[in-house]
Structure formats: C-alpha cells, structure tokens
Chains A and B, each alone.
Chain A
Amino acid sequence: MPVYFTTDHEWIAVDGDIAMIGITNYAQSALGDVVYVELPAVGKTFAKGDEAAVVESVKAASEVYAAVSGTVTEVNDALVDEPAKVNAAPETDGWFLKLKLADPAELDGLMSRSAYDDYCESL
C-alpha cells in the first residue's frame, strides 16, 4: 500500500481509491499529549487543503488538512474516547479518517517517506 506525506506532517495511505489519513510521528511528538480530536461527519466532501479534523494537545489546537480531495467514508471514532492513541500509534491505530479519492492525480504532488524524512531532517 503506497504511503504519501505532506509538509503539514500528515500521512496518506492509499488502498485502491480510498485514502487513509493521519498525522506523523514527528507531528505527534511536536504536539505533545493529545487530549481531544474532532472528526468530520461521514459523507462530508473536502477539497484539497480544506480543514478536515482538529487535534488538540494540552498546549494548543492544530488542524488536520485534507491532503487530497474526496468524500469521507469512515472516521476513527476510537480517538474520541482515547485521543492518546494519536501519541501512542500515530501511523497505525491513531489514524483520523478515510477519504474516497476524487482525483488520484493529486497524490503525485505528495512526498515519499524518504523525501519526508529528509524534509523533517531539514527542519
């Protein structure tokens, strides 16, 4: 399953025409202890770059953006009661939402894992 990354520290794992989106380990570490996650309604449609979810640590609130356009098919409801999963397993159990891709060509503009790792090194 190909995985893409953004400069906003999100990952996008693509399975067919479904993109699973979450925040990276770098992002959860920078945020610190996550205490609240706000997820969109299933069926909601986002354009690329729209604010899709909110993640809040003790200190501050951050937005999670739709890295690609699409319609929400599923959200990770487990995060509502256990937001700390975002810290414990950001790139597996701590996923945020799944989108049905509107335009798979948008994936071409995203980073590979090695490009993302280089990007984090440069920060």
Chain B
Amino acid sequence: MSAADSDPTDLRTTPLDARHRALGARMVPFAGYAMPVQYAGILAEHLHTRDKAGLFDVSHMGQVFLVGPDHATTAAALEALVPADIVNLAPGAQRYSQFLTETGGIVDDLMIHRSADPADDGRLFLVVNAGRKEIDYALLRAHLPPAVAVEVADDRALLALQGPLAVTVLTRSGADVTGMPFMTAGPATIAGIPCHVSRSGYTGEDGFEISVLATRAGELWDALLAEPEVAPVGLGARDSLRLEAGLCLHGHDINETTTPVEANLVWSIQKRRRAEGGFRGDGVVLREIAEGPKRRRVGLRLEGRAPAREGTPILSAAGADIGTVTSGGFGPSVGAPIAMGYVAAAFAAPGTPVQLLVRGKPLAATVAALPFVPARFVRKPA
C-alpha cells in the first residue's frame, strides 16, 4: 500500500531475507527494507496469483496493537483519527480506513481488526504501511488518551497468500478457513504454527494475510511454499495486481494532499461517521461529501500499447490540463496498459475521453470504472 525508497546502505531485512536470496529473488530497497521485487518474473508471478496462489512476504508492514480497558474506549479513541466506524465493528471483523490530517489529507491507509475473543476486549489490531509506520506510531502516541496503549508488534512477520486456491492450500495445511467471510480475522494453526489469519489482501483476489511470530515465519513460509499451488511473488507483481484491482498505493495514489473523498474511498466512511463527524479532517471530508470534491481518482484505459507512468499529464479531449497519473503500467491480466490518476471532477465519469501526454505525445485514453479486473473476494462463503 505504500512506497518509499531509502538509502540502500542501511536497509532492514525481514525474517525471510535469506529465503528470498536462496530463491534467486532480485532484492531492492523499499521503505527502508531490502525486499524481493521479483523471483521468476513479474508477469508470471502476477498471472500465477490470479490463477492459483501467490505467497508474499509483507513483513515490512507495521503491525500494532491498541490496548485499552474495553472496546468502547479503544474504538472511540481510534475514531478520533480515522473516519471509519470502529465502535460498531463486529467482533472478529476487520475494516479498511485512513489516518487523516487536520485538513482531511491521508497520512496513511490501514486495516483495523477487532478480536472475536472476549478475553481480547479493548484490543484492536492495526496493519499499516511500511513507509509510514513510524509516522503512524507517532500520530497514535500523540493523540490517543493515556488509557489506550500503543504496542508495536515488532516480533511478528506478515505473509500474504493470495489467489483462488489460497483457501484450498490453507485448509489442507490444517486451518479450516473455508467458512471465513471476507474482511474477518482470527487465530488459526497452519502447518502446526500458531497464526493470526485475516481473509483479506491487496490483489483483488480471494486470499489471506497471515501474521506469525518472526521466529516461526521461515517455517511457515517453507510449509506454504511446499504446496504445489503456491509460488513466491514479489513487490513488482504486488503492484501490478493492486493496480488492476483499483487499490490505492500510499505515496502515489493517496498522500497528505489527497482526501478520502477525492480518492473515491467514501465507501470506507460508514454512515454514522458521515452524519456525526468527530474525526481529524472531518470539516473538509464532510464538506466534500456534501458538495462533491474538485477532483476525483479515476481509472484510465489507454487505446494503444504504450503505458503511461506516474506523473503523466492528463489532458481533456480539447487539450486542457485536467490532472495527473498517479500509478500506471501494464496490466498483465487486462493485457493492456492501465493507469489511475486524478482528474477535475467534470471529467471523472467512466467513458470520458481524455489524452495522456507521454514523452510529449498525446495518447488517446478513456476514463474507466475501477477495478480493471472483477474483484473475487469471498464475501459470504457457501
């Protein structure tokens, strides 16, 4: 969900670093970590994830617990910083939201989970972007009341198993996850290893994110990789998968200058919060919901084969400057170049013809509905 390069001479590593290198991964600096960008190749890894199951190391992401006396206290404290309804988050459920600035900009986007176990009452589990985690932790520590502690889970690794056969693989590995609805989470034992499993991900496929003690991450990685459906997938394909799925990457498609309304994330602001506000940035966000934002995040399909990268100017059919591409590349499952960007609100309707200025040449493109590929989340298991 986030990208930020850093000095390659001072990189942190995940608990799976040696395994990536042994698999022949190409390692790159990403958000202060040495991370695998690809193993067999981005196209093959992307298509494998859509077809079977891809295994991702996302241990660079931040995992943190908020610990308060009861759910109402912890949830209300977090609600001051995010626009999602956390007070009414059901036990076992997970929700996507954003930390906002005072002016409604997006500090980071994150997942928030409430445990189903009554013994965990008052605890929330957050997963935040690697490149933003120190900023997020500082924000939490500065704004949460003394009754709610911030416990960073630096002792945990995070793996993602994504794709239509992920459920088969986990079930065969001892975790019966077939009945889990999308965006729920709970404890599970995989290959004899205690894990915290969430049915979610960032690829547009059915899949799982698996939090595990760092000391057992290698063992879990090896067990999952030994399954015939599973192949390792790097950050390159993670990026092309999320772009096809129409999902935002912080630092690119969303940042402190974009609001959740401009970013078309209003679906993640539940009705009660829209009515009541009470979160940082609520003035701007609620006004934009009522009046409409000046610009909107849209999908873009190009007519030719040339990709349009981040930073590409977007022009109207008449040639007026109407926006900028924030993510762009080739969609391996779409089989064509695709992009996302912001355009002036008048040009945001799907089907609107636009031009993308690539290397000085205007390329014909059309505003497209997101996602580019149908989401295959399992909202209600059979």
Contact = CB atoms under 8 A, between A and B. Distances in A.
Interface of A: 32-33, 35-36, 38, 54, 56-61, 80, 83
B43 A61 contact: no
A56 B236 contact: no
Given A32-B41, A33-B43, A36-B337, A58 B240 contact: yes
Contact of B307 (A33, A35, A80): A35
Nearest to A35: B330
B236 A58 contact: yes
27 contacts: A32-B41, A33-B43, A33-B44, A35-B305, A35-B307, A35-B330, A36-B305, A36-B306, A36-B307, A36-B337, A38-B306, A38-B359, A54-B359, A56-B307, A57-B42, A58-B43, A58-B236, A58-B240, A58-B329, A58-B330, A59-B37, A59-B236, A59-B239, A61-B307, A61-B309, A80-B305, A83-B305
A27 to B, nearest CB: 14
Nearest to B38: A32
B306 A32 contact: no
B330 A36 contact: yes
Interface in B301-321: 305-307, 309
B304 to A, nearest CB: 9
A32 B42 contact: yes
Contacts of A35: 43, 305, 307, 330, 337
B332 interface: yes
Taking each of B38, B240, B309, B329, which has the highest tally of chain A beta carbons within 10 Å of its own beta carbon? B329
B330 A32 contact: no
Contacts of A83: 305
Contacts of A33: 41-44
Interface in B323-360: 329-330, 332, 337, 359
Contacts of B41: 32-33
A32 B46 CA distance: 13
Listed from nearest, the 8 A-B pairs whose CB atoms lie closest are: A35-B330, A33-B43, A58-B42, A58-B330, A36-B305, A36-B306, A59-B236, A56-B307
A35 B309 CA distance: 13
A59 B37 CA distance: 10
A107 to B, nearest CB: 28
Nearest to A37: B305
Nearest to B237: A58
Interface string B86-130: 000000000000000000000000000000000000000000000
Given A36-B306, A36-B307, A59 B359 contact: no
Contacts of B359: 38, 54
Contacts of B240: 58
Contacts of B305: 35-36, 80, 83
Nearest to B309: A61
A103 to B, nearest CB: 27
Nearest to A57: B42
B243 to A, nearest CB: 10
A32 to B, nearest CB: 6
Contacts of B307: 35-36, 56, 61
A61 B307 CA distance: 9
Contacts of B37: 59
A94 B163 CA distance: 33
Contacts of A32: 38, 41-42, 236
Contacts of B329: 58-59
Interface string B219-260: 000000000000000001001100000000000000000000
Interface in B7-63: 37-38, 41-44, 46
